Each structure stands twice: as structure tokens, then as C-alpha cells.
Structure 1
Amino acid sequence: MLSMLDISKAREMLKGVIHRTPLDYSTTFSRLAGCNVYLKMECFQKTGSFKVRGAYTKIRMLSEEERSRGVITASAGNHAQGVAYASRILKIPCTVVMPLNASPAKVSATRAYGAEIVFHGSIYDQAWEKAMEIAREQGKTFIHAFDDASVIAGQGTIGLEIMEDMPSIDVIIVPVGGGGLAAGIALAVKSIKPDVRIVGVQSKAFSAMKESLEQGRVVEVSNGSTIADGISVRKPGELTLSILKRYMDHIATVDDDAIVKAMFLLMERAKVVVEPAGAVGLAYLLNAPDVDLRGKNIAVVLSGGNVDMFLLGQIVHKGLVGIGRLIRISVQLVDRPGEFKRVVDTIAASRVNIVDVIHDRLGQDVKVGNAKVILSLEAEDMEHAERLMMMLKEQGIKYELLS
């Protein structure tokens, strides 16, 4: 069984290689959650994710003969970058098998660290099979993303840092996919202070660890799709499950709407960009219906910041809509001078900003002699938007709320 000694050794190996990421107190999230919230900023880690801790620890422990043959892994994201970065530092040949639909940004980042990229399959499982095939044929060492003692030890160094920075911590909330991060942190923290609660959070679409803990055995689960691709793991590890059976106090799930809200609030209030998988802990904390956290000292691990820029644009849009800051309405008007001015004057009187206007006379759903106007509007909050809706009704302006 993995021990605290292994995590301490990993920490020594990682000195000078990775960042010691900050544990920052957040006034905003403390107020929103009703407890003292500290954010563990692994989104600021080298390669943009905690994964480099475990990857470097594992590769550093290989024999000279194993190093000479090189390493290989399968990943479409953070683990790929962590393995590639660690291999570059240690001057070890590295191959990463990625699905054909992997994000171009993540492919580019992995290649920039010096890895040879092999594309295979459309899903991770197919890439994994190809990586194992290459490993057997060429004698390369496969670097598992989570179910490996050395990898878990590397991730556990996060727990040591949290306890040193905040010895009075009561609860640590950790994202869970395959379980490597949670297992390492749980083992480290419980070895220092057994009464600290470890809470794991998964996506509702991939709740394999939750189901496995409840059934006492490894269970494969996939209930659809999620934006949190970093924790989209159908089947947790045997080793990670055995550790979390002993040390995990509670495990919960969140949906994509909660993740979007947490990512948006992190950007707007904390000025921090976090990927969906990295935001699940905060998404849970802002709701947390099943655990009483009021007044406690809570550390939330923001595990990564490698978010696709196109997805980020969607997050901003949906976040603004979700809190009532951005609304879209459609208004049909008689096409004559002064009609649109009446709408604009009402909007201006309510102190709502017009962001965008689409004026359509030729659409199939526009009556002859009418014009349809679609407006994107910026309000202060939901209450402000509702006041505008009331003013439009009072002015006899008929509208359809689009979003």
C-alpha cells in the first residue's frame, strides 16, 4: 500500500521542477458559500494542470534501461502535456497517442513539449489500446494517468502543501475522475490530520467512482456527455478505489449547468480561468445540499486551467444569460417611423444597455408590413432584467424572450 513516505519522496523529486501553487482565501466565495473558502490554484501549475506532479514522479523513478526505451501514454489533454513536459526535462523519448478528435490546442501544446504524437481512434479507449500495442512492440513504459502508485504519490504533494499553508483546514474538496488526485491528497492529508474531511466531486455523466465506492468494487459508468472532459472516466482504477474506500468521506456529483456557473464566477469575481473539470469542486460548494459546511475552513482544488478558447466563449455567454446579465428578446413592430424608437426609449429609460440589434423585414415569420427586431441586452442582474420586461409590457410592447 502506498504510504506517506512515498509522497514525501515525491515532494523531494519535484523541488525545482514544478510550482508550489498558492492557497488563496476568497472573500467572494466565502460569502456566497457561507464558509471560509481557500482556492488551491493548480490551474497555475506548469502545463496548466496538477498532472505534471504525478507524471514527473513516475518517470523520474524509472530505471536507466527503462528510460532509454522511452515512455508512452494515451491522453487527449492534461496528462499528455504532463508526461511530455516531464519527459523533456528528463531527456526521455516520449510518445503520446491521442484520439483523432483531440483539441488542436492540446495537440499543439503536447507537441511543443517535444512529444511524438500518434493519432488513433475517436475515443480515449481506442487511443489507450493503440498505446498499449506500441508499448508491447517497442518496449516503452506506459505511464498511466491515475492508477499507479508513483503517479498518486506525486498528486499527493498537493495535500502536503495545503496542510502546511492552512493547518486548521476542515474540509478539502477535490475533483474526481479516475481518482489519482483524490487518492493522493486523501492519503497525505489523513496521515497528517485524520479528522479533515475529504469530499470528492464528479460529473453526473461520469459518476464511476461514486458508484464504485457505493458498491465496493470497480464499476463502469457512462450516462452521456459533459463539458468536464478532464474527469470523463468510465472506469476508475483498482488502486485508487482501494485508497478512497479507506480515506474518502463523501463523494457527490454536479451537472454541467453548475460547472458553467462556477467557471463564470471564477472568471468574473476571481479573475481566474479554470477548465470545466477543475471547477467541479467549486460548483459543488456553491450548492452543497448534502454536507453542512457552514463556518468551516474549506480548501477547493482548482485542478487545471486548460480550457478550449471556443468553449470559453460559450461559458461566458451562458454565464451572462444564467445570472440575467445578458438577455435576448424578439419584437415585431409595424414597419413605420418611430415604432423602433419607442422600444429603444423604453430600454434606455430602464438603464439597460443594447449590445446588438438584428433588424429583419424578410423572414418567413415576419408579417407583411412588419419588421422583426432581435435585441441582445445587458442588464445588471436578473432583477434589473425583470424590471425591463415590466416596462415593455406597460408600454404595450409585445416581445418574445429568447434567452
Structure 2
Amino acid sequence: MQNSQAVTVRGALTVIVNVMIGVGILTLPREVAARSGPDSVVATLLGALPVAVVLAALNGLSPWMHRRRLQHGLEMLVGRWPARILLVAYAIYFGVLASVIARAFAEVVNANVLRNTPVEAIMIPMLLAAVFLVHHRTVTVMRAIELTFPVLVVTLVLLALATMGRVNLIYVRPQWALGAGPLIQGAAASLFAYSGFAVYLFLLPELEARPRRAMPWLVAGLVGLIYSMVVFSAVGTFGVVEVQRITWPTIELVKVTQIPGRVFERLESAFLAVWVTAVFTTVGPALFAAAKALQALFELDEHRVLAPMALPLMYVVALLPANFAAVGQLMTVLGWVSLGLEVAVPLLLWAVAAIKGRRLQRAHRGPAAAAAAGAGPSPVRPSGGPFGRVAGAGSPAGSGAASGPERGV
């Protein structure tokens, strides 16, 4: 694999940020305020902490995944059949996530902009655009999302700043009177809006270099800052009680916001235009992760053929909820599932990798000490360290492992 065809660390950062900013930004103030009240901003920031921890744990898996097929890296950690079960679970989760987000997008656009347009007619173009994006190589998907990254982030930050003019600080002043329970519940509710960051697992095998340790905290900090600004503006403008009665507080917040000089008469139109890009860069990577999981499951050479094949199934899944209330319930279920697949599983994989890494280090330290005691100088260790020797010796033929994997983080 040439460097020009590999995924850069910066590109992986943009993909993770874009996939987390999506439909959840519309309902996040309502969900967090219902659980944490005036402590909503603090709860939103706390929700970003598990994201950083999980991304750091996935960084620790880099020596086992780098330049190696995904299924082989997972098999080295947990075995063949547990790895296959994980791949099936990830394929179903990300496929359903992409379908439900596309349906939620269609419902929001139908209710606010295209009132007389059928939901199916709004949803199909989004699904087709996501399939077209995924029907390319990984590096092409990354570069396409990388182009939208500055537009999305800068616009959302400016809109969040513009909506702060009507904030009443009394509504958002932390009171700490309810104890730690509601604060933790609000952080868990905000964590649902961060869903999708586990797509990083499917980028690890194609990263061109060792991931930087600061990257997880930068990603979580950036998304947490944007979300906390939105929650601050919505709760501070409508109040803790009123914001819980609004279906999409973020859209209503933009509607009541006026920019000095009346540069934009309908600011929600500009927001929805940017939000469409945010949804596209969430549905696309989610479908990409599902295709990558299926590629690893069936040990295919390419993932691109799987995206068009999944389109009819995604369309059926997206139409299963009867109305927007059912869509919200399904998204809540997916949020709880994400706690297992996006938080618990990566942490478990990191723990297994850490234990196996220590065992390998002890196994190599023993022969080296014996050689030093009985035969003079110790033999030269391979450049890849303990991870490199085991990866080279234990990789199945045709796994695509590099001859000298990098040392573990």
C-alpha cells in the first residue's frame, strides 16, 4: 500500500468529527435538559469524555491493525468466531444507523421545508448520494469528507455564536443541586448524539502512519465544544422547561435568532443547508463502516460492490418506523446499542491487546536475558518490537501485513 493511497491521520480526524455531527444536534438540547436541567452544558461536555477515552483505546489497537486486514487483526485479539460475531454486529448496527438517520433527515426536511413532498422522495436522494460516496476507495471517501470539514465546522461555530445574543444566564448557570445522578444521566443522553465515532476502527488498517496521541482529545474537544455551544444557546434562550416541549430546539433557536443588519431574513435556511451536509457526512461513513465490516466478514478484496447491494435493504429498514415518533424511539434504542458496540467493545479490545502485549514482552524478555547471561551480548531484536515479530509470524498468508509494523503506542 502506497502512502498516496493510505488514509492520513488528519483525514481520519475529519471523518470522525463529521460522522458525529448529524441528526443528534437537533434534539440534543431537549434530551439533555430533560435529565440535567440547568447543568446541561456541563453534562454535554462530560459526554465528550468517553469519546476521547474510546478513541485513545482504539489508538492502542493500531499495532495490531496497521497494514493488516481487519478480520486478521481482530482474530489475533479475540479469535476467529468472536471476531466474526463482532463484524456481524457492526455491519447491522452501522447499516441500521445509516438508514434511520436518512429517515430522520427526511422527516425533518418534510416538516420544515418541503411540506408537500413525500418522505420517500426526500430520503432516496440521500441514500443514493451515500451509496455513490461509498462506491469508491477509502481514500476517496476520506478526501470527499475532508473537503466539507471546514465549511461544516466553521459555519456551525458561527451560527452557535450568533444564537447566543438572547441567552439568559440564569437558565444555564450550573446549580449542582440535583447531585451527580442527573448529571451522569445527561452525559449519557449527550453521548447518544456523539454516536458513530467507532468508524475509526475501520480506518485503522489503512492509516498511513501511527496515530497521534493528541488526536482523540482534539476530536472529542471540537465536537464537545460545538455541542455545548448549541445546548448553551438553546437552554439559555428558551429555558429548562420550555426547551423540553420543543421537538427540534436547535431549529427553533435558529428561527428566533436575528443577525444585526438583517443580513439573513431566514437564518434557518442557511442552517438547514449546512445541516444537509452534516447528515450526508454521517450517513456516508456509517454505510462505509457497514460495508467494511461485511468485506472483512466475507474476506473480500473490495468493499465498493457492497454499497449498491445494500441500498434496497436500507430503503426497507428506513421505512419501517411508522412516523417520526417511532423514528425517535428507534434512535434511542440505537443509542443504547452504541454504548455496547462503540464504548464497551473498543475498551474490551484494548484491554485484551494490553494483556497480550505484556505477555509478548515477557516472552521476548526471557530469551534475551538467557542469551545475555550465557552467550555474551544479546541478539538484536527486530525493528518492529514484540508486536512486529508476532504480527509477522502469526499473520495468515495474504493478510497484507507489512514486513515491519510500527511499535505500539
TM-score (norm 1): 0.26
Higher helix share: 2
Bigger relative CO (Cα 8 Å, ≥ 6 apart)? 2
The higher radius of gyration belongs to: 1
TM-score (norm 2): 0.26
